Structure 1
């Protein structure tokens, strides 16, 4: 028999549903509310089956032991270092391994922006289990959520808990665990661009370093970072230019060179096309 809770040493907070409905109508918390959260150590016989979907996303982090989860897409194994992300409105079930029960940190979240956020991050029932690159950071954020939820259910506490939950969701959306060789190569290429902003580097050169064809490299880069290689490089260069314009009295030609542009007139045109003003006018603007 599976049990939902009641494990020695557990921590758990369930927000009263009238308070959830109230929070979902209030400024700030209407975007995101943590409705339930907890910590289950060595949760022997733990499990839940929700054939009738709930309207919260369920996030479960396994830090020890193992278990499983199931959606309409199939059954998925869960081990230490994995996170389960189950979107709202979908039937699902999950449970601990009988021989090696898991230890979990978990939370449920709801809010009007949640479905769009999960969709943009690719968090669907088809791929509910991910490997975390930094389990400790994610667990620390769930611990922060739990701390504030245990404190009280005032709007102030719910706002702080929601802030930690948004941070957690953002990390989950952008997280990519190490070990994917191609993704690691793309990361290294991006770091190479960051380390060599003032140098002339083209896609073919980066592709050769990654031992990929230029077309394949370009496709992988855009998929991973959301921008084509040269557009990403331009963003890096313009960030360097803005920093130098804001913090130094360097001549525009020297700023251009430091940002990777041998031709200061071309640099000025590029800068204006992105910022709407020339480098000189940008420097003269009040900031801070």
Structure 2
């Protein structure tokens, strides 16, 4: 299912997909958040990712209670609204206004991988409406869906935290995702970045937070083994090794340009254990972080 509490008609054709993540905010917390600053204007109520979602579909004859945002990073599907039926392909985003009748479903032969969230609030309504105007309907063709899917993954992480700070993180990421769709969505498909280029953009945008290779592969529409092979071919290292390089590059930057303690540098680079960070830094650079910093001081 896609997490909505406003489902009618067919509902989900299948409940549960291998590798899926789905977060649903308790409605009592939704009601509270809608009375608070920031989240009263834009609030994510549900979010998730459905990899290769065979037989997935939803029909709502009275629409959903929330605005619905879908991002397809692999495979294909379709969407039907009062304006007509449109094919949804890799790199497309679908924006559905609350209260508007709609149906959507995965392609039978090539089912989509779908990143999605539901959102409430005045800012959300304005952004979804602006997206419709920019792309001429509910389906926006993105040159590169990976940055938007990356933001949806941050929405999911924010909801997963289960804290007020996590809710604000989800709100910020959802706002950014919607503005990306409005700013980059087109009326017709165009050339897109390669899967490896999309993966690299996501890793650069989200570093130092580490992205599991399985999640990264789902985001760009590849199997984990295929993504690993393409990474080694085009980048020269594995996805995990590339993420380590990004973290170490950030560590060098902070050691060179700030007076942060080594423990603070470790934390800023995504390492919970300063000793482990120091060992990894020394393994890569041949010297400990403190010695690296002292080489020019």
Shared fold (TM-score, shorter chain, > 0.5):
yes
> What residue is the counterpart of 1:238 in the other structure?
none
Q: 2:145 matched to 1:135? A: yes
- 1:180-232 CA-to-partner distances (Å, cap 9, x unmatched) read 89xxxxxxxxxxxxxxxxxxxxxxxxxxxxxxxxxxxxxxxxxxxxxxxxxxx
- SS of residue matched to 1:166: helix
- SS of residue matched to 1:122: helix
> What residue is the counterpart of 2:182 in the other structure?
173
Q: Could you list the structure 1 runs, at least 4 aligned residues long, displaced by more than 3 angstroms after superposition.
A: 120-126, 176-181
Aligned ranges for residues 238-253 of structure 1 at < 5 Å? none
**Structure 2, unpaired ranges of 5+:** 1-9, 191-297
Structure label with greater radius of gyration: 1
How far 1:179 sits from its partner (Å)? Answer: 7.8
> What residue is the counterpart of 2:84 in the other structure?
74
How far 1:118 sits from its partner (Å)? Answer: 2.8
> What residue is the counterpart of 1:204 in the other structure?
none
Q: 1:65 to 1:30 in 2, by over 3 A?
A: same
Q: Distance in 2 between matches of 1:40 and 1:180?
A: 23
> What residue is the counterpart of 1:103 in the other structure?
113
> What residue is the counterpart of 1:219 in the other structure?
none
Normalising to structure 1: TM-score of the pair? 0.58
C-alpha root-mean-square deviation of aligned residues, in Å? 2.3
2:95–2:128 Cα contact (<8 Å) kept? no
Match of 1:144 among 148, 154, 158: 154
> What residue is the counterpart of 1:92 in the other structure?
102
Match of 2:171 among 157, 162, 168: 162
Q: 2:132 matched to 1:122? A: yes
How far 1:147 sits from its partner (Å)? Answer: 0.9
Q: Distance in 1 between matches of 2:47 and 2:186?
A: 24
Q: Distance in 1 between matches of 2:146 and 2:135?
A: 25
Match of 1:54 among 51, 60, 64: 64
How far 1:115 sits from its partner (Å)? Answer: 2.0
**Aligned positions, number:** 180
